[in-house]
Amino acid sequence: MIARAVIAVVTMLLTATFAQAQEWPARPITLVVPFAAGGTTDLVARPIAQALTEKLGQPVVVENKAGAGGTLAAGIAAKAAPDGYTIFLATVAHTMAPGLYKSLPYDFEKDFDPVTLAAQVPNVLIVHPSVPAKTVAELIAYIKANPGKVNFGSAGPGSTEHMSGELFRAMLGVDIVHVPYKGGAPMMTDLIAGQIQMAIETSGSATPHIQAGTVRALAVSTPQRSPYFPDLPTLNEAGLTGYDVTTWFGFMVPKGTPPAIRGRLYREIGDVLKQSGIRARFKEMGAEPGGQAPAEVAAFITTETAKWKKVAKESGAKID
């Protein structure tokens, strides 16, 4: 009798969950993006949001919440109702934050459930054309000859550009100054204007300006050369042995979101990432589409968090 009762309860719960997923979505969905419009995170989010709108039959509205290196948006999304109407586009910055901040208003691994990765991109070491360096070796020599006079920009404290620069500084022992912005787009504006001298920026934001000649590319941050920048050496090749940074973007939902809804999101996003139009847009940014299963993403996040905690400790980087 007890066994039958348990089976009945489980069946009822599964039926209710399935029904909820079938009814979802019944109203617009908010996609929270943690950086300003125009940056790589935003460029990844918008075409996917548009395609999801068409597939789900409800608007998927991008809401940019820039600030605090992406942690402001994470705090907001973590506290949202777990009903499938808030999706969060996390980035590598959210696995960097635990090693940088004394405290955060959320626990990235405990307060979110992963859906899938959207994309992965290399970062590119770029400089303003006025910098007299056409190779990484020449840039290092220039920095050493001008200690404290070379600024590197980022999308904010704790962003991928920030930690890429901190890793560069720590590995070489050079004196460069971090200048944080509220997103990659305003940072690129100042770099192009010559207000800052260098950045290790995501390929999505950097590529159009590299092609236009308004910035000069010296190397990529990934362990292997990028097929989208075949002529650029890796920083590892250029003498920074072991340098390895890949910027990734992943869809998350608040913990407690019904599994059936999360499962449907995983399938729908996976289908979107296979669309030729999306793949073409990503190719323009030098991005590899994601689509990994939730469990794989969860394990990846754990590994990334441990890696960046170590980098923060060894570099001495921290945010009060």
Q: What is the mean pLDDT of residues 147-173?
A: 92
pTM beyond 0.85:
no
In this model, does residue 261 exceed pLDDT 70? yes
Predicted pLDDT at 315: 83
pLDDT band at 159 (very low <50, low <70, confident <90, very high): confident
pLDDT tens digits, one per residue of 108-143: 999 999 999 999 999 999 999 999 999 999 999 999
* CATH superfamily, region 2-121+247-315: Bordetella uptake gene, domain 1 (3.40.190.150)
- Give the residue extent of every domain in the chain: 2-121+247-315, 122-220
Question: Residue 119: its pLDDT value, please?
Answer: 96
- Tokens 């930690």 sit on residue: 163
Q: Which two tokens stand for residue 27?
A: 């109203």
The helix/strand/coil state of 218 is strand
Give CA angle at 229 (156, 301), nearest 5°: 45
CATH superfamily of 122-220: Periplasmic binding protein-like II (3.40.190.10)
The pLDDT value given to residue 182 = 82
Do residues 162 and 185 make contact, with C-beta atoms less than 8 angstroms apart? no
Largest CA distance in the chain: 82
Strand 288-289 to 112-127 pairing? antiparallel
Share above pLDDT 90 across residues of the chain, in percent, rounded to a whole number: 82
Mean pLDDT over all residues of the chain?
Answer: 92
Residues 305, 310, 311, 312, Cα dihedral to 10°: 90
Average pLDDT over residues 46-51: 98
Distance CA 287, CA 121 (A): 5
Helices assigned H by DSSP within 146-183: 160-172
51 Cβ partners below 8 Å, 6+ apart?
272, 275, 277, 278
Q: Comparing 2-121+247-315 with 122-220, is the CATH topology the same? A: yes
Report pLDDT for 18.
Answer: 53
Q: Is the confidence at residue 17, as pLDDT, over 80?
A: no
- In DSSP terms, 126 is beta-bridged to 199, 217
**Please, where are the H alpha helices in the chain?**
2-23, 40-56, 71-78, 93-96, 108-111, 136-145, 160-172, 184-193, 203-212, 259-273, 276-285, 294-315
